[in-house]
């Protein structure tokens, strides 16, 4: 971070010039250098320089927090959001935790987007909280959300209210994604909450669609952007107490087994990872979910669930909806 | 630079030596002494975080429950500290310690020995380490500095540094120099996790090229012990009777290969699994002393 005048009291143009002459240009340079030495070189009082150093440090460092205080804060601000599907909730240890990133990974047609729609609808309608949905694949349609809502309630007012709680952003490159996340982080979150209900969930479908094209080759730029996206998502999750759900594609490892995409450097980012796969036998809506990374449940647990759960009708509309479902599945 | 009497005293007074923090991990009597650095290296899913929580608990628990009662400073660069998991491991250790049920007050006392700092860039890490100097001098009981992870800013630094490797490594080098000075002046011990940047082979950890550190020289010079973590295939454990209905559980076994460069040069392989109560070491027969030390 470059030193500039007015950054703190006592740091005026003259001092800046003498510091630059002594090869001190950034805040880090100033903080790392020997103050006594520097005071002599720039003919400034030791006390003044020491005070400036102290102010700069206080402005720019992260403050230590006691573990007990942090724990208290988390106890009061963390919430668990049910996904609406009991089998998934079992895997996730009751649901999506705020302050954490959960990842859904799977091949094409494995139902990641459908699960995201279902979660968004459940949170907006049942839990009455706002959801931000960032769509990078173009797979989100208001019709589909409405369809799912129509099986929950026949009241059009309630449907509209729930739809209003789902705020969508459609972007197709990583720059736009970063801008959107920074904008939300820098106060956009409050503007987005309208009609009560704070934002409790952020869904990015899919994060690999914008990052995967940048990886490979010389690797520098792409990896750095990926880490920036990771940092932005984590900051959003922690600072605003939001549950972040992202989707990722899969690749095959050298030994032939299926593994989540985006490589080793992304694998530390989500706290929990679930792999979705089609079930060979059974109805077309059946999927199996395997927990491949979790800090709460130690073993690899597998659960079968029904993609049609979020749109389950009371019985009579079952036939119609399954027909429409087949059409949408081939899109994802 | 002048310091007050209390600061001088705080600096010179010996901090607790952590040689015995986890003897099962290190070679005979080879635990980290004051002023030494342990790097915990391994890909995702190999139990590094659980190992850190295990060490944390060992440090902050009261002596009655098997702890060392020292203060710990945790530098979180990954935003990955899970306080709930930490609290649940502390809770189960306190309960297992035989004390008449752990009450909230004891848990909070243990957690208050932990200081958490979150950094979001390598510049902030550098400035924060400078700031931590005052924290260390005002806390004579602080004996352990945990950094999770030291490699978090590798890609951002690389891209900011452009084509020059020296520029790319500059920030981490400065942090390492500062850490070296903190180690010398305050005689603390440092444990730092490091994530690899490419998928390594699953062969024996002592030989694979991929486990070589990719961080700057200044950091590599500081490291005196290296724990390389890996995951073994899930093993079948026959029903233990305490499972009740005889259901089999697949335990994921994690191995740690420790190499040390100071004092007793040596290596040690240990394995553990993760239960609700934290890390549980699996007893393996001690190998005969390795005379041709593996480095």
For A223, nearest residue in chain B (alpha carbons): B155
Do A28 and A159 reside in the same domain of the chain? Answer: no
pLDDT at A101 over 90: yes
CB spacing of B195 vs A61 below 8 angstroms: no
Do A21 and A80 reside in the same domain of the chain? Answer: no
pLDDT at A304 over 90: no
Q: How close is the nearest chain B Cα to the Cα of A56, in Å? A: 9
A31 CB contacts (<8 Å, ≥6 apart)?
Answer: A53, A56, A57, B126, B127, B130
Is residue A95 a part of any domain in this protein? yes
Is residue A177 a part of any domain in this protein? yes
Do A91 and A225 reside in the same domain of the chain? Answer: yes
Q: How many domains does chain A have?
A: 2
- Reported confidence tier of residue A291, pLDDT bands at 50, 70, 90: confident
Domain extent for B33: 5-198+213-236+249-282
CB spacing of B78 vs A64 below 8 angstroms: no
Q: Which residues of B touch A214 (CB under 8 A)?
A: none
Give me the residue from A60, A228, A268 closest to B78, CB to CB.
A268
**What is the domain-level CATH number for residue B256?**
3.40.50.300
Q: How close is the nearest chain A Cα to the Cα of B93, in Å? A: 17
pLDDT at A319 over 60: no
Share of chain A above pLDDT 90, in %: 24
Q: Which residues of A touch B112 (CB under 8 A)?
A: 66-68
Q: Does A226 touch chain B (CB under 8 A)?
A: yes
Give me the residue from B60, B85, B116 closest to A295, CB to CB.
B85
CB spacing of A267 vs B158 below 8 angstroms: no
- Name the least confident of A143-152, A308-317, B146-155, B269-278: A308-317
Q: Quote the ipTM score.
A: 0.81
Is residue B206 a part of any domain in this protein? no
Which two tokens mark A133? 């949905």
CA pair distance B189, B85, nearest whole angstrom: 24
Q: Please, are residues B36 and B224 in contact by the beta-carbon 8 Å criterion?
A: yes
CB spacing of A67 vs B112 below 8 angstroms: yes
- Reported confidence tier of residue A117, pLDDT bands at 50, 70, 90: very high
Task: Give the per-residue pLDDT at A322.
Answer: 36
Do A157 and A282 reside in the same domain of the chain? Answer: yes
Q: What is the mean pLDDT of residues B40-60?
A: 88
Q: Please, are residues A106 and A260 in contact by the beta-carbon 8 Å criterion?
A: no
Task: Give the per-residue pLDDT at A248.
Answer: 93
Task: Give the per-residue pLDDT at B292.
Answer: 62
Mean pLDDT taken over chain B: 79
Do A138 and A198 reside in the same domain of the chain? Answer: yes
CB spacing of A64 vs B117 below 8 angstroms: yes
Q: What percent helix, strand, coil does chain A show, rounded to 5?
A: 50, 20, 35
From chain A residues 60-119, the ones with a CB under 8 A of any chain B CB are 60-68, 70-71, 74, 78
Task: Give the per-residue pLDDT at B31.
Answer: 79
CB spacing of B112 vs A66 below 8 angstroms: yes
Q: Which residues of A touch B41 (CB under 8 A)?
A: none
Containing H/E element for B143?
strand B142-148
Q: What angle do CA B238, B44, A254 make, to 5 degrees?
A: 85
Do A245 and A164 reside in the same domain of the chain? Answer: yes
Using the CB atoms, write b or e for B216-235: b if 16+ within 10 Å.
Answer: bebbeebbbbbbbbbbeeee
**What is the domain-level CATH number for residue A235?**
3.40.50.300
CA pair distance A177, A150, nearest whole angstrom: 31
Using the CB atoms, write b or e for A291-319: b if 16+ within 10 Å.
Answer: bbbbbbebeeeebebbbbbbbeeeeeeee
Q: Which residues of B touch A57 (CB under 8 A)?
A: 127, 130-131
Q: How close is the nearest chain B Cα to the Cα of A234, in Å? A: 7
CA pair distance A48, A31, nearest whole angstrom: 14
Is residue A324 a part of any domain in this protein? no
CB spacing of B78 vs A66 below 8 angstroms: no
Is residue B108 a part of any domain in this protein? yes
Task: Give the per-residue pLDDT at A90.
Answer: 87
For B109, nearest residue in chain A (alpha carbons): A68
Mean pLDDT taken over chain A: 83
A64 CB contacts (<8 Å, ≥6 apart)?
Answer: B73, B115, B116, B117, B132, B135
CA pair distance A213, A220, nearest whole angstrom: 13
Give me the residue from A27, A224, A299 closest to B127, CB to CB.
A27
Q: What angle do CA A234, A275, B272 make, to 5 degrees?
A: 80
Give tens-digit pLDDT for B222-278. Answer: 888 888 888 886 655 544 434 333 334 566 788 888 888 776 667 888 888 888 778
Residue indicated by tokens 């669930």:
A305
Q: How many domains does chain B have?
A: 1
Is residue B152 a part of any domain in this protein? yes
Task: Give the per-residue pLDDT at B234.
Answer: 62
pLDDT at A133 over 90: yes
For B279, nearest residue in chain A (alpha carbons): A298
CA pair distance B154, B171, nearest whole angstrom: 10
Q: Dihedral sign, CA of A256, A262, A264, A266?
A: negative
Do A53 and A182 reside in the same domain of the chain? Answer: no
Task: Give the per-residue pLDDT at A321.
Answer: 35
Is residue A301 a part of any domain in this protein? yes
CB spacing of B274 vs A298 below 8 angstroms: yes
Give tens-digit pLDDT for A21-32. Answer: 888 888 888 888
Q: How close is the nearest chain B Cα to the Cα of A55, in Å? A: 11
Is residue A65 a part of any domain in this protein? no
Domain extent for A49: 13-60
Probe site for chain A from B46, B104, B116 (most A CB atoms < 10 A): B116
Task: Give the per-residue pLDDT at B246.
Answer: 36
Is residue B192 a part of any domain in this protein? yes
Task: Give the per-residue pLDDT at A330.
Answer: 39
Q: Dihedral sign, CA of A304, A249, A272, B56?
A: positive
CB spacing of B127 vs A271 below 8 angstroms: no
Containing H/E element for A157?
helix A156-165
Task: Give the per-residue pLDDT at A48.
Answer: 85
Q: What is the mean pLDDT of residues B117-128?
A: 89
CA pair distance B190, A296, nearest whole angstrom: 27
For B127, nearest residue in chain A (alpha carbons): A61
Which of A2-16, A162-176, B13-27 shows the highest mean pLDDT? A162-176
Q: Please, are residues B238 and B248 in contact by the beta-carbon 8 Å criterion?
A: yes
Share of chain B above pLDDT 90, in %: 16
Is residue B98 a part of any domain in this protein? yes
Which two tokens mark A262? 């985006």
Q: Does A59 touch chain B (CB under 8 A)?
A: no
Q: Does A271 touch chain B (CB under 8 A)?
A: yes
Between B163 and B209, the more confident residue is B163
Probe site for chain A from B42, B118, B163 (most A CB atoms < 10 A): B118
Q: Which residues of A touch B174 (CB under 8 A)?
A: 28, 32
- Cβ pairs A/B, distance under 8 A: 141
Give tens-digit pLDDT for B126-180. Answer: 999 988 888 888 888 888 999 988 888 888 888 888 888 888 888 899 999 999 9
Share of chain A above pLDDT 70, in %: 90
pLDDT at B34 over 90: no
Q: For residue B39, what are the β-bridge partners?
A: B192, B226
CB spacing of A224 vs B80 below 8 angstroms: no
Do A75 and A52 reside in the same domain of the chain? Answer: no
Alpha helices in chain B (DSSP H): 5-12, 48-60, 83-96, 104-112, 122-138, 154-160, 165-186, 217-222
CB spacing of B199 vs A263 below 8 angstroms: yes
CA pair distance A4, A12, nearest whole angstrom: 8
Q: What is the mean pLDDT of residues B107-135?
A: 90
Phi-psi region of B35 (alpha: psi -120 to 50; beta: other; left: phi over 0): left
Do A33 and A154 reside in the same domain of the chain? Answer: no
For B149, nearest residue in chain A (alpha carbons): A268
Distance set, CA B145 to CA A253, B37, B122, B141, B150 (Å): 36, 10, 17, 12, 12
CA pair distance A285, A279, nearest whole angstrom: 9
Probe site for chain B from A268, A272, A295 (most B CB atoms < 10 A): A268
Is residue A56 a part of any domain in this protein? yes
- Name the least confident of A25-39, A229-243, A288-302, B114-128: A288-302
Task: Give the per-residue pLDDT at B169.
Answer: 86
Containing H/E element for A224?
helix A220-240
- Reported confidence tier of residue A131, pLDDT bands at 50, 70, 90: very high
Distance set, CA A247 to CA A44, A183, A317, B45, B47 (Å): 56, 21, 30, 19, 24
CA pair distance B139, A28, nearest whole angstrom: 25
Task: Give the per-residue pLDDT at A58.
Answer: 84
Q: What is the mean pLDDT of residues A148-160?
A: 86
- A220, with CB counted inside 10 A (0-12, 13-18, 19+), is middle
Do A83 and A211 reside in the same domain of the chain? Answer: yes
Between B49 and A197, the more confident residue is B49
CA pair distance B32, B20, nearest whole angstrom: 8
- Reported confidence tier of residue B76, pLDDT bands at 50, 70, 90: very high
Q: How close is the nearest chain A Cα to the Cα of B270, in Å? A: 19
Task: Give the per-residue pLDDT at B250.
Answer: 61
Q: What is the mean pLDDT of residues B92-97?
A: 81
Is residue A332 a part of any domain in this protein? no
């Amino acid at each position: 971070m470059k030193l500039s005048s007015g950054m703190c009291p006592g740091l005026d143009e003259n001092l800046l010039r003498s510091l630059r002459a002594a090869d001190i240009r950034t805040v880090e340079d100033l903080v790392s250098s020997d103050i006594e030495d520097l005071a002599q070189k720039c003919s400034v009082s030791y006390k003044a320089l020491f005070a400036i150093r102290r102010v700069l440090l206080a402005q720019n460092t992260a403050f230590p927090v006691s573990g007990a205080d942090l724990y208290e804060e988390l106890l009061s601000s963390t919430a668990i959001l049910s996904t609406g599907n009991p089998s998934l909730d079992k895997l996730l240890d009751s649901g999506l935790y705020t302050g954490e990133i959960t990842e859904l990974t799977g091949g094409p047609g494995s139902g990641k987007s459908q699960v995201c729609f279902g979660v968004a609808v459940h949170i907006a309608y049942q839990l009455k909280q706002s959801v931000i949905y960032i769509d990078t694949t173009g797979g989100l349609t208001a019709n589909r959300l409405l369809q799912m809502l129509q099986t929950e309630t026949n009241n059009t007012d309630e449907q509209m209210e729930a739809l209003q709680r789902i705020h969508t952003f459609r972007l197709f490159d990583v720059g736009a994604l970063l801008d959107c996340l920074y904008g939300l982080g820098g106060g956009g979150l409050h503007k987005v909450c309208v009609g009560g209900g704070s934002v409790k969930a952020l869904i990015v479908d899919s994060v690999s669609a914008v990052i995967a094209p940048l990886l490979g080759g010389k690797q520098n730029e792409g990896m750095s952007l990926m880490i920036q996206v990771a940092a932005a998502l984590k900051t959003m999750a922690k600072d605003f107490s939001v549950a972040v759900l992202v989707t990722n594609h899969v690749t095959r490892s050298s030994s032939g087994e299926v593994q989540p995409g985006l490589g080793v450097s992304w694998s530390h980012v989500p706290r929990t990872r679930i792999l979705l796969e089609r079930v060979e036998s059974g109805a077309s809506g059946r999927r199996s979910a395997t927990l491949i990374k979790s800090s709460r449940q130690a073993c690899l647990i597998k659960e079968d669930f029904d993609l049609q759960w979020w749109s389950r009708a009371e019985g009579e509309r079952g036939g119609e909806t399954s027909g429409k479902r087949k059409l949408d599945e081939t899109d994802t | 630079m002048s310091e007050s009497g209390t600061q001088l005293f705080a600096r010179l007074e010996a901090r607790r030596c952590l040689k015995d923090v986890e003897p099962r991990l290190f070679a005979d009597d080879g635990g980290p002494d004051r002023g030494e650095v342990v790097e915990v290296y391994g890909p995702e899913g190999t139990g590094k975080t659980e190992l850190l929580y295990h060490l944390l608990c060992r440090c902050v628990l009261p002596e009655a429950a098997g702890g060392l009662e020292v203060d710990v400073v945790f530098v979180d660069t990954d935003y990955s500290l899970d306080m709930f998991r930490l609290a649940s491991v502390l809770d189960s250790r306190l309960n297992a310690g035989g004390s008449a049920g752990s009450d909230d007050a004891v848990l909070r006392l243990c957690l208050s020995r932990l200081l958490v700092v979150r950094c979001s860039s390598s510049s902030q890490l550098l400035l924060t380490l400078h700031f931590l100097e005052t924290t260390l001098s005002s806390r004579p009981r602080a004996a352990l500095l945990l950094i999770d992870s030291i490699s978090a800013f590798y890609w951002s630094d690389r891209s900011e540094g452009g084509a020059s490797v020296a520029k790319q490594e500059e920030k981490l080098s400065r942090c390492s120099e500062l850490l070296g000075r903190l180690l010398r002046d305050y005689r603390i011990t440092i444990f730092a996790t490091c994530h690899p940047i490419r998928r390594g082979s699953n062969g024996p950890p002592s030989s694979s090229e991929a486990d070589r550190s990719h961080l700057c020289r200044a950091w590599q010079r500081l490291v005196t012990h290296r724990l390389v973590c890996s995951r073994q295939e899930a093993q079948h454990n026959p029903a233990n009777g305490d499972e009740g209905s005889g259901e089999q559980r697949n335990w994921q076994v994690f191995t740690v290969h420790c190499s040390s460069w100071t004092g007793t040069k040596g290596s040690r392989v240990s394995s553990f699994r993760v239960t609700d109560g934290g890390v549980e070491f699996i007893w393996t027969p001690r190998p005969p002393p390795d005379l041709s030390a593996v480095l």
